[in-house]
Amino acid sequence: MPRIPVKLVSWEEITEWSWGLAKVIEKSGYVPDVVIAIARGGYVPARLLCDFLGIENLLSIQSQHWTEAAKKGERAIIKFDYSVDLTEYRALLVDDIIDTGESVILAKEHISNSWRPKDLKIAALQWISSVAKIKPDFYYMEVKEWVWFQYPWTRLEDVTQFLKRIIESSYREEGRVSWTLEDLNKKFIEWYDIAVGGRYIAEAIEVLAKRGLLKAINGSYIYTATTM
């Protein structure tokens, strides 16, 4: 069994889910004047919704909670605050997924209080109903058991963090310090039950090497924290 349940999401699925979400919104009769993407995960779904719903105005707000893949940060925060007058606009706030919902709640409160839209509704591709503190007005898919959706726009970022977790945990649990590319590929599939492709694993190793976590020696990668 994988240590963390992960769903590998394709670009094709994102397009289909966004199309389905657009139809849900359309059927409701709600017609937004502006779409607001929650950065960073909401960018792609928000842009697709603009296309599928024929909406010209697109803004973004960075409300951030997950600081590491599948590992929750302490609290949601608004980054790079700025002011927009939306008093004459019906707004649609879009994120990729609502899990705890804390980043969405914070963004909604901030927009309502500071940007003051005429109306504000929330849309997401996925809603994890078992853990979310808020239910979106529109969603394409209800997820009843928590899973980490590995979206294509965070693939290298997530793979890098997942590999870091494998390497550090294996050192703590087994004292392991040396890895080959094949070892890491096998361990990645064992832990997460997904195959992301060799180039992502190889590039993630290079990223970890640049950060000083790994060092290439004679065809193997050594966990450098043991010598620091």
Give CA–CA dist 223/200, Å, rounded: 19
Give CA–CA dist 86/57, Å, rounded: 11
Neighbours of 91 (CB within 10 A): 25
154-227 belongs to CATH 1.10.10.10:
yes
Greater confidence (63 vs 196) lies with 196
The helix/strand/coil state of 67 is: strand
Give CA–CA dist 33/93, Å, rounded: 11
What is the total residue count of the chain?
228
For the chain, the distance separating the N- and C-terminal CA atoms, rounded to the nearest angstrom, is 33
For 183, how many CA atoms within 13 A lie in the half-sphere containing its CB?
A: 13
Q: In this structure, are residues 42 and 64 in contact, taking their beta carbons and an 8 Å threshold?
A: no
Q: In this structure, are residues 8 and 194 in contact, taking their beta carbons and an 8 Å threshold?
A: yes
Q: Which residues contact 102 (CB under 8 A, 6 or more apart)?
A: 65, 75, 76, 133
Q: pTM for this structure?
A: 0.88
Read off the pLDDT of residues 123-174 as tens digits, 9 standing for 90 and up. Answer: 999 999 999 999 999 999 999 999 999 999 999 999 999 999 999 999 999 9
Least confident of 80-84, 112-116, 197-201: 80-84
Give the CATH fold of the 6-150 domain.
Answer: Rossmann fold (3.40.50)
In degrees rounded to 5, what are phi and psi of residue 84?
Answer: -140, 140
Least confident of 75-79, 87-91, 161-165, 180-184: 75-79
In sequence order, the β-bridge partners of residue 66 are 72
Q: Packing angle between helix 181-192 and helix 155-174, nearest 10 degrees?
A: 100
Strands (E), 80-118: 90-98
Of the chain, the percentage scoring pLDDT greater than 70 comes to 92
Rg (CA), the chain: 20
Give the start-to-end residue ranges of the domains of the chain. 6-150, 154-227
